[in-house]
């Protein structure tokens, strides 16, 4: 499997480390607008500053799109049209129109397309689902708090969607994967700056609380906070069912514990879900089975629709219905 990387920033470096561990996978080329960045990551592979040139000259079997959200459509749709498999970083896009174009291109293509919401690939999710089988989920409580690298596009709400799209959308996606469709949302932001109380500052919120009204009548909440370097971090999800109270620890360890139906539940993931997401994508591409990826473009577009409704709720203060796809 000959693989190319588009965008040689933070997440690309993590994916390159994963690719190097996989059998029969060769990193053939890296593209970044900044050639020096591409070279730092390439380790002997070819480098490009124009993604279209990489596709034409290298004809990779698969690419990993690791660029900021506003570029996702431009890079992904032509690759899918050329029959190249695409692992696209989350969020699927900045806006719904771009997301729909990617979903449509993936639907027309025989290539495999996965979106990088890697928490769908957490091994202990299977244990969690099994533990609550037959129960209704009443409350999901997500915490997503910790430091993150500042990048120019992340600080600009119109480019990156701030902490809502960049970070909280991981929890939105996970809560949808477990709790089902979201029909309406509410949200509020803190006016106090945390990470941005020092150093670079943009127009995004540092902390917010989100409420997801689930189609089954249950409620999902997410507290998201971007904090200063050096402070502790916390990523977790509590799941309360009619006869279950389970705690899922997220990042860097993925552990499940709690009680359900009178049973003590304990499970630990062995493999990092990000690595699992990439290796499952490569496997699905090899086997030509798009449905095997953990997060499909359609699933990621559904998550984006919820995140964009949250963005509207933040600015209006109202309860915003989520359009059905
Ligand atoms: N799944 C995860 O946990 C996770 C974690 C971090 C980032 N991400 C996602 O990955 C994407 C990239 O994030 P990052 O933190 O690596 O950003 P980054 O800013 O560190 O890197 C992005 C790189 O893309 C390059 N680039 C921009 N436009 C380009 C173009 N048209 N052609 C080629 N290169 C281009 C930039 O020069 C930059 O080097 C975002 O969508 C982000 O949300 C996902």
Q: Are residues 283 and 212 in the same domain?
A: no
Give the domain CATH number at 139.
3.30.360.10
Q: Are residues 110 and 128 in the same domain?
A: no
Q: Which atom of ligand 1 is nearest to the CA of 75?
A: 31
Q: Are residues 174 and 240 in the same domain?
A: yes
> What distance in Å separates the CA atoms of residue 210 and residue 215, rounded to the nearest whole number?
16
Residue-level pLDDT, tens digit, the chain, 325 residues: 999 999 999 999 999 999 999 999 999 999 999 999 999 999 999 999 999 999 999 999 999 999 999 999 999 999 999 999 999 999 999 999 999 999 999 999 999 999 999 999 999 999 999 999 999 999 999 999 999 999 999 999 999 999 999 999 999 999 999 999 999 999 999 999 999 998 889 999 999 999 999 999 999 999 999 999 999 999 999 999 999 999 999 998 999 999 999 999 999 999 999 999 999 999 999 999 999 999 999 999 999 999 999 999 999 999 999 988 6
CB 224, CB 145: distance < 8 Å: yes
Q: Are residues 262 and 279 in the same domain?
A: no
Q: Are residues 41 and 92 in the same domain?
A: yes
> What distance in Å separates the CA atoms of residue 151 and residue 157, rounded to the nearest whole number?
12
Output the furthest CA–CA distance in the chain (Å, rounded): 60
**Residue to mutate (ligand 1; options 65, 77, 89; most atoms within 8 A of CB):** 89
Q: How far is the CA of 11 from the centre of ligand 1 (A)?
A: 7
Q: How far is the CA of 72 from the centre of ligand 1 (A)?
A: 10
Residues with C-beta less than 6 Å from any ligand 1 atom = 6-12, 31-34, 37, 51, 66-69, 71, 89-90, 116, 118, 151, 166
CB 248, CB 239: distance < 8 Å: yes
Give the domain CATH number at 71.
3.40.50.720
Identify the CA nearest to 110 among candidates 80, 90, 139.
80
Q: Are residues 240 and 157 in the same domain?
A: yes
22 vs 4, 18, 44, 123, 285, CA distance in Å? 14, 7, 17, 19, 14
Q: Are residues 111 and 232 in the same domain?
A: no
Q: Are residues 50 and 148 in the same domain?
A: no
Q: Are residues 127 and 219 in the same domain?
A: yes
> What distance in Å separates the CA atoms of residue 88 and residue 36, rounded to the nearest whole number?
22
SS (H, E, C) the chain: CEEEEECCCHHHHHHHHHHHHCCCCEEEEEECCCHHHHHHHHCCCEEECCHHHHHHHHCCCEEEECCCHHHHHHHHHHHHHCCCEEEECCCCCCCHHHHHHHHHHHHHCCCCEEECCHHHHCCCHHHHHHHCCCCCEEEEEEEEEECCCCCHHHHCHHHHCHHHHHHHHHHHHHHHHHHCCEEEEEEEECCCCCHHHCCCCCCCCCEEEEEEEECCCCEEEEEEEECCCCCCCEEEEEEEECCEEEEEECCCCCEEEEEECCEEEEEECCCCHHHHHHHHHHHHHHHCCHHHCCCCHHHHHHHHHHHHHHHHHHHHCCCEECCCC
Q: Are residues 130 and 239 in the same domain?
A: yes
> What distance in Å separates the CA atoms of residue 75 and residue 84, rounded to the nearest whole number?
11
CB 42, CB 7: distance < 8 Å: no
For residue 53, what pLDDT is reported? Answer: 98
For residue 324, what pLDDT is reported? Answer: 81
**Residue to mutate (ligand 1; options 4, 14, 32, 47; most atoms within 8 A of CB):** 32
Q: Which domain holds residue 156?
A: 122-270+304-321
> What distance in Å separates the CA atoms of residue 210 and residue 242, rounded to the nearest whole number?
23
Query: Could you tell me the two tokens for 102?
Result: 């990617």
Instruction: Write the burial class of residue 156 (CB in 10 Å: 0-12 exposed, 13-18 middle, 19+ buried).
Output: middle
For residue 199, what pLDDT is reported? Answer: 84
Cα 295 versus chain centre, distance? 9
Domain count, the chain: 2
Q: Are residues 168 and 21 in the same domain?
A: no
For residue 169, what pLDDT is reported? Answer: 98
Q: Are residues 157 and 170 in the same domain?
A: yes
Degrees, nearest 5: CA angle 3-301-164: 100
């Amino acid at each position: 499997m000959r693989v190319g990387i588009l965008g040689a920033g933070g997440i690309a470096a993590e994916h390159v480390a994963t690719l190097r561990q996989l059998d029969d996978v060769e990193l053939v080329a890296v593209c970044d607008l900044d050639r020096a960045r591409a070279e730092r990551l390439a380790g002997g592979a070819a480098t490009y500053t124009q993604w279209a040139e990489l596709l034409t000259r290298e004809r990779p079997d698969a690419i990993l799109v690791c660029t900021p959200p506003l570029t996702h459509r431009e890079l992904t749709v032509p690759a899918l049209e050329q029959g190249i498999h695409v692992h696209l970083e989350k969020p699927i896009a900045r806006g719904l129109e771009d997301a729909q174009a990617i979903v449509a291109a993936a639907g027309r293509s025989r290539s495999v397309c996965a979106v990088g919401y890697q928490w769908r690939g957490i091994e202990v999710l299977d244990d969690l689902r099994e533990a609550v089988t037959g129960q209704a989920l009443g409350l999901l409580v997500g915490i997503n708090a910790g430091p993150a690298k500042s990048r120019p596009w992340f600080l600009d709400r119109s480019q990156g969607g701030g902490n809502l799209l960049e970070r909280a959308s991981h929890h939105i996606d996970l809560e949808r994967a477990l709790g089902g469709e979201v029909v309406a949302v509410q949200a509020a932001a803190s006016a106090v700056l945390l990470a941005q109380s020092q150093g670079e500052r943009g127009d995004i919120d540092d902390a917010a609380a989100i409420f997801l009204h689930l189609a089954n009548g249950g409620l999902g909440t997410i507290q998201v906070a971007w904090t200063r370097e050096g402070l502790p971090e916390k990523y977790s999800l509590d799941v309360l069912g009619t006869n279950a109270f389970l705690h899922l620890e997220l990042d860097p360890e993925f552990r499940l514990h709690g009680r359900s139906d009178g049973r003590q539940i304990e499970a630990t993931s062995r493999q990092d879900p990000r690595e699992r997401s990439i290796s499952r994508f490569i496997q699905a591409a090899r086997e030509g089975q798009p449905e095997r990826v953990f997060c499909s473009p359609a699933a990621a577009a559904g998550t984006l629709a919820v995140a964009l409704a949250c963005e509207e709720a933040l600015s209006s203060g109202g309860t915003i219905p989520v359009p059905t796809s």
